[in-house]
Structure 1
Amino acid sequence: MVDLEVRDDGAIAVSSQGATLVYTPYRVTAPDGSVVAHESRGGSLAGAWATQLGTAFVEVSFLGDGPEGGELAMVVSDGGDTHVALGALVTEQVPADVPPSWPAAIDLALGLIVDTTLDSGSKDDVERFHQRLLEVVHGL
């Protein structure tokens, strides 16, 4: 069984069988203390990184640049349960200038969401956010 804790600072602790991984939108700290970050943020991750955490399988992916670049998404699977975190890919506000890679990254993220994310609301919320990004990109 996996235990998920969304901390006050927005980090998500994923624990299973005594091992804990800490996810933030730009880096993941593995149970052994090693850090996973996208290469644009000084790490070595270009696409995806995965690990077994007790009974849970954790995959961290770079889906494309969001508002700042180097944002990471996380999927945690434990038996029949799947949990998703999109981190900084989904923001509260849509800026006036949206990089074209951001809606594409959200489009890929939509395929990961089961019902809700740990940090970004429901799939419908993320779909609405995606549409708002597209409106800005296409000047609508």
Structure 2
Amino acid sequence: MVDLEVRDDGAIAVSSQDETLLYTPYRVTAPDGSVIAHESRGGSLAGAWATQLGTAFVEIAFLGDGPEGGELAMVVTEDGTTQVALGALVTDDVPADVPPSWPAAIDLALGLIADTTLDAGSKDDVERFHQRLLEIVHGL
């Protein structure tokens, strides 16, 4: 079994025995020390990267630009259970101007969430956030 720990700084550590993957919204450090980041942030990731960590399958995906661009989502699947981290795709505040790519990225993220996320609340919370973004994009 892997251990998932949401740290005080918002980073999420995924650990199995002596291996740890560290997830942040824009950068992931793999157990071998390599860094995964979207190409818009100086990395080489264009779509997805995956690894096996103990008995868990971990996938890092770029679903589309959010508020700043290059945001990464993480999906950890183990023993039929899936846990999702959305990082900076879901924010506390919604700006007055929302890029159209942001609600599209959230729409894709909603398909990954079973019930709750590690960092953005319940699927219902993410759906409400998605609706707020759509209202701004469409001037409602």
Determine if the TM-score, normalized by the shorter chain, exceeds 0.5: yes
Q: TM-score, normalised by structure 2?
A: 0.99
Which shows bigger deviation, 67-76 or 15-24? 15-24
The code of the aligned residue for 2:84 comes to: V
Q: For residues 64-106 of structure 1, give each alpha carbon's deviation from its aligned partner in whole angstroms, at most 9, with x where no partner exists.
A: 0000000000000111221100000000011100000000000
CA-to-aligned-CA distance 1:90-127 (integer Å, 9 cap, x gap): 00011100000000000000000011000000000000
Segment of structure 1 superposing worse, 69-78 or 11-20: 11-20
Percentage identity across paired residues of the two chains: 89
Deviation at 1:39, TM superposition (A): 0.1
The residue identity in structure 1 corresponding to 2:50 is A
TM-score by length of 1: 0.99
Report the residue type matching 1:6 in the other structure. V
Q: Deviations 1:37-79 (Å, cap 9, x if unpaired)?
A: 0000000000000000111100000000000000000000111
Q: Which amino acid aligns with 2:134?
A: L
Q: Which runs of 5+ in 1 are unaligned?
A: none
Question: 8 Å contact 1:75–1:83 — kept in the other structure?
Answer: yes
Taking only aligned residues, the RMSD between alpha carbons, in angstroms, comes to 0.5
After TM superposition, list the pairs within 5 Å mapping 1:110-129 onto structure 2. Answer: 110-129=110-129
Q: Is the 8 Å Cα contact of residues 17 and 55 (structure 1) preserved in structure 2?
A: no
1:101 aligned partner = 101
Q: Distance in 1 between matches of 2:108 and 2:80?
A: 22
- Could you tell me how far 1:17 is from its partner in structure 2? 2.7
